[in-house]
């Protein structure tokens, strides 16, 4: 049940607030990134805190809450757009107890608390994911999508819709609502993410 997940002590840096950041992760612009505490950044993850809004002063580009997990090989990039002729990046805010599966690309604007995102997903620019939502593995969420609270979204990998006008272009169905999640999703996500953090520990023979 509570099987430990081991890492080699040398690979992870542990902060005062219990964040564990892999030395094999790329943290660009660390001064613009906030980690809430007890959050794990896995190896190979890329966090682009350097892509900040133009202009003077200090700016938070990416903020992550407590008990989050950024899986191996994930890319977290703030969303951007051109507004009134000016190209700009916009901040990304992620709540507590959010797990992001391996190799997923996130360009969301906000992600609430107790959200689970599967592996190999693409979360498009300016996406808003509300509390206790879940994105299944291999789902593509197109830009500007809103995922409501307690909703499960999934794509249809393998199923393609073909445009009549452009026969060469195959298009995957956008990730969409599948079903409501159980009423106890919040408690489960909280227990799971806390337990995950406890299980995530250095190899015992290194202690």
CB 1 to another protein: min, Å: 5
Q: Which of 43, 38, 39 lies closest to 26 in space, CA to CA?
A: 43
Residue with the two structure tokens 């580009």: 61
Judged by CB, which is closer to another protein: 15, or 31?
A: 15
DSSP structural state of residue 143:
T
Rounded CA-CA distance 110/93 in Å is 5
DSSP characters over 44-95: T-EEETT---SSSS----EEEEET-EE-TT-EE---EEEETTEEEE--EEE-
Q: Is residue 13 close enough to count as binding another protein by CB under 8 A?
A: no
Q: Is residue 157 close enough to count as binding another protein by CB under 8 A?
A: no
Q: Is residue 198 close enough to count as binding another protein by CB under 8 A?
A: yes
CB 68 to another protein: min, Å: 15
Q: Is residue 75 close enough to count as binding another protein by CB under 8 A?
A: no
Rounded CA-CA distance 119/108 in Å is 15
Q: What is the CA radius of gyration of the chain?
A: 18
Q: For residue 179, list its beta bridge partners.
A: 152
Q: Is residue 31 close enough to count as binding another protein by CB under 8 A?
A: no
Contact 122, 105 (CB under 8 A): yes
Q: Is residue 177 close enough to count as binding another protein by CB under 8 A?
A: yes
Judged by CB, which is closer to another protein: 16, or 56?
A: 16
Rounded CA-CA distance 113/82 in Å is 29
Stretch that binds another protein, among 29-37, 52-60, 155-163 (CB under 8 A): 155-163
CB 135 to another protein: min, Å: 14
Stretch that binds another protein, among 26-34, 49-57, 58-66, 122-130 (CB under 8 A): 122-130
State the residues that interact with another protein by CB under 8 A. Answer: 1-8, 11, 22, 24, 42-44, 71-72, 80-85, 87, 102, 114, 125-126, 130-132, 140, 142-146, 148-151, 156, 159, 161-167, 169, 171-174, 176-177, 180, 182-188, 198, 200-201, 203
């Amino acid at each position: 049940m509570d099987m430990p997940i081991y890492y080699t002590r040398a690979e992870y840096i542990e902060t005062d607030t219990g964040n564990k950041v892999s030395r094999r992760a790329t943290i660009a612009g660390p001064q613009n990134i906030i980690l809430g505490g007890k959050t794990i950044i896995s190896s190979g993850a890329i966090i682009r805190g350097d892509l900040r809004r133009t202009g003077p002063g200090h700016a938070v580009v990416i903020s992550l809450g407590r008990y989050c997990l950024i899986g191996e090989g994930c890319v977290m990039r703030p969303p951007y757009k051109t507004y009134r002729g000016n190209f700009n990046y916009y901040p990304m805010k992620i709540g507590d107890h959010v797990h992001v599966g391996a190799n997923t690309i996130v360009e969301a604007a906000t992600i609430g608390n107790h959200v689970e995102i599967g592996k190999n997903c693409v979360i498009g620019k300016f996406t808003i994911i509300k509390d206790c939502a879940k994105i299944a593995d291999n789902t593509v969420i197109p830009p500007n999508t809103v995922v409501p609270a307690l909703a499960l979204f999934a794509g249809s990998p393998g199923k393609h819709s073909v445009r009549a006008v452009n026969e060469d272009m195959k298009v995957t169905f956008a990730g969409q609502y599948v079903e409501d999640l159980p009423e106890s999703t919040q408690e489960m996500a909280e227990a799971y993410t806390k337990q995950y953090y406890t299980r995530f520990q250095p190899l015992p023979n290194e202690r």
